[in-house]
Each structure stands twice: as C-alpha cells, then as structure tokens.
Amino acid sequence: MSDNLFICQLTDLDDPGSRGFSVDLDGTVIEGFIVLRDGEFFAYQNKCPHTGSPLDWVEHQFLDLDLAHIQCAVHDARFDIETGLCISGPCPGASLNKLNFEQRDEALYLKPTGATQSVKP
C-alpha cells in the first residue's frame, strides 16, 4: 500500500483560497486541488464532470471572483465548495470527485484509500 502523498503546506493557502497539485500514486498521476474556506479544507480531482477538462486556466485559481464557488474556466460551471455539486452551468446535479486527504503537522497529504472528508486545522 502507498504512503500518503504530500500536497502542500498549510501556509500555501489563503482563506478563502485554492491550490492545485499533481502527485504520482503508484505510476498514476492524480491532478487535484485543495480549497480552504472558513478554516476548513476540501479536496477534489481537477476534472470537470461535463467534459473532463481541467477546471483552472490560471495556476492554483479554482474559485470564482467572489471566492464563493469553484468555477470551471472552460464552461463557467459553478460548484459548491463543500459538496462539489454543480449548481450552475452545463452539468447541473453532477459533482466533482472528492479526494481523500489528511492534515499532519503543518501540511496536507493525499490518502490513497479511505473515506472522503474535509478537515478543520
């Protein structure tokens, strides 16, 4: 079984803010992103459920201008930060894929297995 994989330091994120990451899990590259809002972290795969395209067009920018929703740069779909549910755009009712992670010391790590979750620092 693989060990948990480093995503970022807690200080790499503003609140609210987002940060993309890419990790290699046993030869499979996982592209994802972390969102920090109101002291709580959320992790998702960087893949729009509409076409499979990456959500960001600027590095680490996954939130809309109001920092209220996750935004797909390709189709302008908006997703709820806490649930990943599409609330507007071409894929209403679809959801982003949550990623499993944990906070350890002052960093976040991707968990290869286990339940999806969000954590408070």
The structural architecture, per CATH, of the domain 5-39+47-109 is 3-layer Sandwich (2.102)
What is the Cα–Cα distance from 43 to 110, expressed in whole angstroms? 9
What's the whole-number mean pLDDT along residues 28-45?
96
Considering Cα of 49, then 118, then 42, then 89, what sign does the dihedral take? positive
Question: In this predicted model, what pLDDT tens digit does every residue of 55-113 receive, in sequence order?
Answer: 998 999 999 999 999 999 998 999 999 999 999 999 999 999 999 999 999 999 999 86
Given a cut of 90, is residue 115 above it in pLDDT?
no
Return d(Cα 83, Cα 73) in angstroms, integer: 19
Instruction: Assess whether pLDDT exceeds 50 at residue 121.
Output: no
- What's the pTM value of the predicted model, to 2 decimals? 0.89
The residue behind tokens 């990456």 is 54
